Structure 1
Amino acid sequence: MKYMLLMQFSDQTGLPPIGTWPPEDVRAHIEFMRDVERKLVESGELVDAQGLAMPDQARIVRAGAGGSSVVTDGPFPETKEFLIGFWIVDVEAEERAIDLAAYVSAAPGPGGEPLNMPIEVRQVMSAPPEEL
């Protein structure tokens, strides 16, 4: 079963923005993330993994009248949290996806302390649920 592990950031988590960390802590964090990816590749569980640009570079696009499109900056200023990266994994059971999320949640932050960042775990659906 495929699951998406969504790494989110928000002011409410109390996590300091990575741009404020000492360079050696940023390197340790990035090395941890590379190690996670390497392990998932070796286990055959990795489908895809991507980091995302900061929200100030995001654009919200809506279809407009007459085939035009409306593009605005996004997410909106009132947004409390934003997606900073994700992994798609193909695992035997949800429990494994949860274990992976817990491992990633403990990525090192400033001073090497575990961040305990929230990781959302969602199954990737291949078709609509049967009951629909």
Structure 2
Amino acid sequence: MKYLVQIQGTQAAYDAMAGKPSPGNPAWSEADIAAMFAHMGAINDDLAETGELVDGNGLAEPARTRYVLSGPGGKPVITDGPYSETKEVLAGYWVLDCASLDRVTEIAARVVACPIPEGSTPSPIIIQPIQEAPPES
């Protein structure tokens, strides 16, 4: 079965990685960033080796995103990020093809074990099964 494994983040967390601290988000050093990339790279390498990795990427910070909504008369209303009404955003994802929910949960546990600077707020991980289209008749 395929699963979407999502890692959440905040604009403040992205800012901390860029050296701009805030409460619960101390500034990251170059060593902190290197450790995070090494940890995630090792997970990706292992998933590629087992054949479970379908796709995965980190996403750009909310300040570089755009929100599009249908407005009056069906005309799009476009807002640049970050969005004050949204505290957490999708920071990265993996599409995994795993034998069971237990297996994908093991993988998510490795993701949350990623090293982060002391005093940082950990990012939650969400596992969501990907619904498959019904077979064509």
Q: Calculate the TM-score normalised by the size of structure 1.
A: 0.81
2 CA distance for matches of 1:39 and 1:88?
A: 14
Instruction: Tell me what 2:3 maps to.
Output: 3
Q: What displacement does 1:70 show?
A: 2.3
Instruction: Tell me what 2:130 maps to.
Output: 124
Question: 98, 114, 117: which is aligned to 1:110?
Answer: 117
1 CA distance for matches of 2:107 and 2:117?
A: 21
Aligned residues: 124
Q: Does 69-78 or 48-57 show the bigger shift?
A: 69-78
Q: What displacement does 1:64 show?
A: 4.7
Tell me the SS of whatever aligns to 2:128. Answer: strand
Q: If each structure's strand is expressed as a fraction of its own residues, which one has the higher value? A: 1
Residues 115 and 42 of structure 1: CA distance in aligned 2, closer, same or farther (over 3 Å): farther
Q: Calculate the TM-score normalised by the size of structure 2.
A: 0.78
Structure 2 residues without counterparts, runs of 5 or longer:
19-26
Runs of 4+ off more than 4 Å: 64-68, 113-116
Q: Does 54-63 or 93-102 show the bigger shift?
A: 54-63
- Percentage of matched positions with identical amino acids: 39
Residues 17 and 114 of structure 1: CA distance in aligned 2, closer, same or farther (over 3 Å): closer
Structure 1 residues without counterparts, runs of 5 or longer:
none
Q: Does 114-123 or 36-45 show the bigger shift?
A: 114-123
